[in-house]
Amino acid sequence: MKKKLLLIVVILLAAGAFCLFQIKHFAASHLTIREDTLFTLPAGTGRDGLKIALSKQHIVKRTRWLPGLWLVDPKLANFKAGTYRFTVGMTVRQMLELLVSGREAQFSIRFVEGSSLKDWLAILDQAPYLEHSLRDVALDQLASRLGESPSTSLEGRFYPDTYLYTAKTQDVALLKRAEQRMDSILEQVWHDRAEGLPYKTPADLLTMASIVEKETGEPDERAKVASVFINRLRLGMRLQTDPTVIYGMGERYRGTIGKQDLITPTPYNTYVITGLPPTPIAMPGLAALDAAAHPAKTSYLYFVASGKGGHVFSNNLASHNRAVQQYRESVKENNGQ
């Protein structure tokens, strides 16, 4: 009888050792994925649900050892719902530790300088894993969704940058983050602006920055472009900047503007109106904001594309007309005419 009991104990110990070895081996084994994989664990999923999901999605082999691993290391069973990124070479233990940590996969969305609110909404609409709540919201209703007065213009109010988010983040939450960043940056830029600028409010500076953003992408030109418009404002001259005309045309713009467009009144046509347009025309970046806040000290009143990259700046109409003629000749040469 004693021998039988001893034999049973030996068998049980051997079986236990074998199982423990298999569990440790299983925990150290790699996931079967061949590329980084996104895995969503719905809220309320239990151990059996996770086991089934990992098996169905061919992420883990021999899931039968999962209960044993949870028994040996119970903390690995405290997983959290979310969307996670499993990477090639990750072990089963590392995967479970990730699920326990709650460190969900990060997605990125990029809003570029000079883009419009309409552009932003289109980018948001295509962003994966976002919770879309703005697809059927009209532009004139968007301000209310952001907690603003319905009459508030949102153009230019969002800071262009790359934003990270996790799955099921609301699109409106991303816009609020971008709005708060622009408010914070604009407040600082306004506080640090040069003295004597013809702005009444930070909104004026923001509008000027949006025009500078649309006029040039050359870093060393932004402050000079800003100086042209500042000098014109001080003299009471119209800004006469094409990007504002294009913005005012809206859907009528088809890639070119003609003489008729320059004389057709819109609230944004700075060939017709005096002073700044009523709102920004795009989302300016920090460089354009700094240029609007610290324009170069020049006597320039005009600029035109050089045809070779950049612009030619002039302080009188005669010089400007010559620069325009040189630009036209450069275009003809480039077109082989």
171-183 pLDDT, tens digit per residue, is 999 999 999 999 9
pLDDT of residue 10: 55
Tens digit of each residue's pLDDT (9 = 90 or more) over 275-293: 999 999 999 999 999 999 9
Share of the chain above pLDDT 90, in %: 71
115 in Cβ contact with 160 (< 8 Å): yes
The beta strands (E) that lie in the chain are given as 37-41, 82-86, 107-110, 162-165, 302-305, 311-314
> Residue 302 and residue 316: Cα distance in Å, rounded?
7
For 22-31, what is the mean pLDDT?
89
Query: Among residues 185, 106, 172, which one has the least CA distance to residue 145?
Result: 172
Task: Provide the 10 A C-beta neighbour count for residue 319.
Answer: 15
Residue type at position 121: L
Task: Provide the 10 A C-beta neighbour count for residue 96.
Answer: 23
Tens digit of each residue's pLDDT (9 = 90 or more) over 182-197: 999 999 999 999 999 9
256 in Cβ contact with 268 (< 8 Å): no
273 band by pLDDT with thresholds 50, 70 and 90: very high
Contacts 24+ apart (CB under 8 A), 235-241: 235/301, 236/274, 237/301, 238/270, 238/271, 238/272, 238/273, 238/274, 239/211, 239/270, 239/275, 239/276, 240/270, 240/271, 241/211, 241/215, 241/270
Looking up tokens 């301000």, which residue turns up? 143
For 306-323, what is the mean pLDDT?
84
Tens digit of each residue's pLDDT (9 = 90 or more) over 27-66: 899 999 999 999 999 999 999 999 999 999 999 988 988 9
In sequence order, the β-bridge partners of residue 304 are: 312
100 in Cβ contact with 69 (< 8 Å): no
- 10 Å CB burial of residue 118 (0-12, 13-18, 19+) is exposed
137 in Cβ contact with 198 (< 8 Å): no
Q: How far is CA 123 from the centre of its chain?
A: 9
pLDDT of residue 25: 86
Tens digit of each residue's pLDDT (9 = 90 or more) over 72-121: 899 999 999 999 999 999 999 999 999 999 999 999 999 999 999 999 99
In order of their start, the domains of the chain are 2-101 (3.30.1490.480), 107-185 (no CATH), 199-334 (no CATH)
